[in-house]
Amino acid sequence: MLAVLTFIVRRSLWTVVVMFVITVVVFFIFFKTPGVDPARALAGRDPSPQVLAEVRQQLGLNRPLWIQYGIMMKKIFITRNLVSYSDQGELIIPEIFAAAPITLSLVFGASVIWVVAAIVMGVAAARLRGTIYDPVLMILALIGLSTPVFWLGQVVILITQVKLHSSIFSWVQLGYTPLTQSPVKWFEGLIFPWITLSILYIGLYARVLRANLLEVQNEDYVRTARAKGLSERRVLLRHTLRTSMITFLSLFGLDFGALVGGGAILTEVVFGIHGVGFLTWESLTNLDLPTIMAVVIYGAFFIVLANALVDVAYAWIDPRVRPT
Amino acid sequence: MTEPLLDIRNLSVTFRTEDGLVRAVDGVSATLQQGETLGIVGESGSGKSVTMMTVMRLITDPNATFEGEVYYKGVDLLALPQDQIRSIRGAGISMIFQDPMTSLNPVYKVGWQIAEQIREHEKISKQGARARAIELLTSVGIPNAAERVDNYPHEFSGGMRQRVMIAMAISCNPDVLIADEPTTALDVTIQAQILKLIRKLKSDYGTAVVLITHDMGVVADMADRIAVMYAGRIVEQGTQRELFYDPQHPYTWGLLGSIARLDRPRPRRLAAIPGQPPSLMRLPAGCAFAERCAYRFDACETQQPQLLDRLGTGHLDACLLSEQRKHAIRTRTVEPELVEETP
């Protein structure tokens, strides 16, 4: 038990160190790129001299480097009053915090769909190996994997909102309603974005899982399980799939983190879901550097956090890496 | 003679591969009596493992075809549907494998893995199965079994893991225990312990054992009867005494000649059988061993020798040399060493 606690504490400390390094790197990219005046870059398009002076003063740009870094981090993490100069002085951090649950809803729902569908497809393909169904499933997965999200999203919108909106899909009202407000509306508004986002991952995960299952199937301990007289079903679920989930899970943690960190940008833009990805896209089109910087740090934070969670989950699912 | 427990009749296993048909097992017949130990000896690729894996119906390769019959208590295992063979696997016939490091599932506790097998075959509570697992671990010589039952495989050494495998294999009191090179992956002192354990279990429970090995020393120690396999066929079969004191096939002579002996001056180098076994895809028309045999003559190239009782004592061999000729050769080469050992 003590070993587990030490492991978690050590892992958390490490996460803090990584976060610190990321903020430093991001800070240097945005403030210290040679030949760029950071005030001009941060102040938005065609700033007036007054705005420039205000930015310099607010961010302490004429003070020593480490104070500049300190002011920036204070504005992001403590006072949370970093403003976007191109967006009429909007406060950035609250904006991100408002967008986060929307992105989380999108990614969570999509991940449930893709995990379930990928396991079903991967297991079916591995089980049906040698029949025509295996290559058919894998070609389907490959198609899913290579379908661009922006195109698929447009097609889904075209079908549900235009072509068949008056008949089958009249219940579909795209757009985000908080789960706490109305679970039904939340679901109706997000189901098609979920599907759209998950298609790529279903394809990817099904292929990875199938390959892994076939590899594990040749392991000696699977032969042992069969020699014990267990049913094929039990051998597959309790022995083959169980160990294959180790790879599956680590992949999942990383993708989930990256998506919550803003990686679902295309889906959010196509469906007009105002999550973190949408915010990123908006600030990119407006050259709104303070927002971009904050979003990058926020995204990195989620990826690092997901990594840490994967490590803990790893220990839970694989006794060999458990701390002793 | 009573009806044998296991009766393999004319078993052949062929694999379809991209390069052609591979006949891994070619017309093997063997029997196993209650409580007996049968040793199957041969080098890698001789078909000894494939034969016993086929008995367990553990070959899942869709490109494998099987011919012949395997009777266990009068039932042909090769003709049984999947769900019936499952009730025999692990309960009537169980198997331990070569590499204990990889034969246990790394993500489950060893006690759980043993209990899983017991619960598959018997109506027993979780606690009951666990208690049995502890008993079994104790009986295979694992110290502190009550604590070790909750350890994962990676927390055991190789020898201890093989003991766990054996505990699992005997958990449902099988009639037949198939041990596929059970000591090959272990170091020599551990090998001796594991063999001793198998012998003890055999005498305690009266389990019949099929011992697959490439080590003549192991079968000398363990087996009542021995079958020597070469290129998918049995080339000689007899009691342990017959095989060691009156070997009939030149391949067996070669195997015996390649053992280091403690009771004579150490040879500069161990005798080896020259050459390589033939490709199972292009077996020669005559004797498969002819190419490597120092005593071959014209008939060996054209005529396939049958496994026959040439001495009339139940000691079978598949060599075309006449009995007199074999005797003459052995008196010249192999015999002197063996004669001295005969009491």
Between CA B316 and CA B299 the distance in angstroms is 19
Domains, in order of start, for chain A:
92-321 (1.10.3720.10)
Mutation target to probe the A interface, by most A beta carbons within 10 A, among B16, B57, B82, B108 is B108
Between chains, do A229 and B88 touch, taking CB under 8 Å as contact?
A: yes
Least Cα distance to A204 among A261, A251, A240 occurs for A251
Q: Are B281 and B299 in contact (CB under 8 A)?
A: no
User: Closest residue of A to B168, CA-based?
Assistant: A228
Between CA B2 and CA B4 the distance in angstroms is 6
Between CA B36 and CA B166 the distance in angstroms is 18
B166 interfacial to chain A (CB closer than 8 Å): no
Amino acid A65: pLDDT: 85
Amino acid B340: pLDDT: 42
Contact list in B for residue A226 (CB cut-off 8 A) is: 58, 60, 89
> What value does the mean pLDDT take over residues A237-255?
90
Give the sign of the dihedral formed by CA B222, CA B228, CA B234, CA B240.
negative
Structure tokens at A262: 């803003």
Whether the pLDDT of residue B333 is over 80: the answer is no
Angle between helices A183-217 and A242-258 (to 10 degrees): 130
Whether the pLDDT of residue A118 is over 90: the answer is yes
Between chains, do B154 and A242 touch, taking CB under 8 Å as contact?
A: no
Q: What are phi and psi of B240, to 5 degrees?
A: -55, -45
pLDDT tens digits along A147-193: 998 999 999 888 888 777 777 777 777 778 888 888 888 888 888 99
B106 interfacial to chain A (CB closer than 8 Å): yes
Nearest by CB to residue A243, choosing from B90, B107, B154, is B107
User: Counting Cβ atoms within 10 Å, is residue B342 exposed (0-12), middle (13-18) or buried (19+)?
Assistant: exposed
Least Cα distance to B216 among B77, B314, B338 occurs for B338
Q: Are B249 and B318 in contact (CB under 8 A)?
A: yes
CA dihedral A130, A136, A138, A142 (to 10 degrees): 160
Q: What are phi and psi of B184, to 5 degrees?
A: -60, -35
3-state class percentages of chain A: helix first, strand second, coil last, to nearest 5: 75, 0, 20
pLDDT band of residue B335 (cuts 50, 70, 90) is very low
pLDDT tens digits along B169-194: 999 999 999 999 988 888 888 888 89
> What value does the mean pLDDT take over residues A97-106?
90
Least Cα distance to A172 among A152, A151, A157, A154 occurs for A157
Q: What length is written for chain B?
A: 343
Q: Which amino acid is at A189?
A: G
> What value does the mean pLDDT take over residues B47-62?
91
Mutation target to probe the A interface, by most A beta carbons within 10 A, among B84, B107, B166, B184 is B107
B157 interfacial to chain A (CB closer than 8 Å): no
Alpha-carbon separation of residue A25 from A22, A55, A63, A208, A254 (angstroms): 5, 21, 19, 33, 21
pLDDT band of residue B338 (cuts 50, 70, 90) is very low
Angle between helices A149-157 and A183-217 (to 10 degrees): 140
What value, to the nearest 5°, has the Cα angle with vertex A303 and ends A73 and A89?
Answer: 40
Q: Are B90 and B117 in contact (CB under 8 A)?
A: yes
Amino acid B267: pLDDT: 64
Contact list in A for residue B89 (CB cut-off 8 A) is: 226-229
- Which residues does A contribute to its contact with B (CB < 8 Å)? 130, 219-221, 223-232, 234, 238-239, 242-243, 246, 317-320
Which 3 state secondary structure label does DSSP give B307? coil
What value, to the nearest 5°, has the Cα angle with vertex B285 and ends B281 and B289?
Answer: 80
Between chains, do B102 and A231 touch, taking CB under 8 Å as contact?
A: no
Which residue, chain included where needed, has tokens 């950071």?
A38
B168 interfacial to chain A (CB closer than 8 Å): yes
Structure tokens at B256: 């015996």
The count of C-alpha atoms lying within 13 angstroms of the C-alpha of A324, restricted to the half-sphere facing its C-beta, is 8
Contact list in B for residue A317 (CB cut-off 8 A) is: 107
Between chains, do A227 and B89 touch, taking CB under 8 Å as contact?
A: yes
Contact list in B for residue A229 (CB cut-off 8 A) is: 86-91, 117, 120-121
Structure tokens at B62: 């869709």
Examine the predicted complex and report whether its ipTM is higher than 0.90. Answer: no
Q: Are A267 and A258 in contact (CB under 8 A)?
A: no
Which residue, chain included where needed, has tokens 């003679």?
B1
Amino acid A313: pLDDT: 84
Between CA B176 and CA B208 the distance in angstroms is 5
Amino acid B1: pLDDT: 54
Between CA A120 and CA B239 the distance in angstroms is 54
Across B200-302, the runs of DSSP E, i.e. the strands, are 208-213, 225-230, 233-239
Between chains, do A228 and B90 touch, taking CB under 8 Å as contact?
A: yes
Within 8 A by CB and 6+ apart from A132, the residues are: none
Give the sign of the dihedral formed by CA A213, CA A215, CA A221, CA A225.
positive
**Which range among A46-55, A295-304, B12-21, B24-33 shows the weakest confidence by mean pLDDT?**
A46-55
Q: Are A242 and A230 in contact (CB under 8 A)?
A: no
Q: Are A11 and A314 in contact (CB under 8 A)?
A: no
Between chains, do B102 and A219 touch, taking CB under 8 Å as contact?
A: yes
Between CA B136 and CA B117 the distance in angstroms is 12
Whether the pLDDT of residue B334 is over 80: the answer is no
Question: If phi over 0 gives left and psi between -120 and 50 gives alpha, with beta otherwise, what is residue B232?
Answer: left
Question: If phi over 0 gives left and psi between -120 and 50 gives alpha, with beta otherwise, what is residue B152?
Answer: beta
Between chains, do A229 and B87 touch, taking CB under 8 Å as contact?
A: yes
Between chains, do B86 and A229 touch, taking CB under 8 Å as contact?
A: yes
* Chain A nearest C-alpha distance from B219 (Å): 24
Between CA A165 and CA A162 the distance in angstroms is 5
User: Closest residue of A to B154, CA-based?
Assistant: A320
For the whole model, what pTM was predicted?
Answer: 0.82
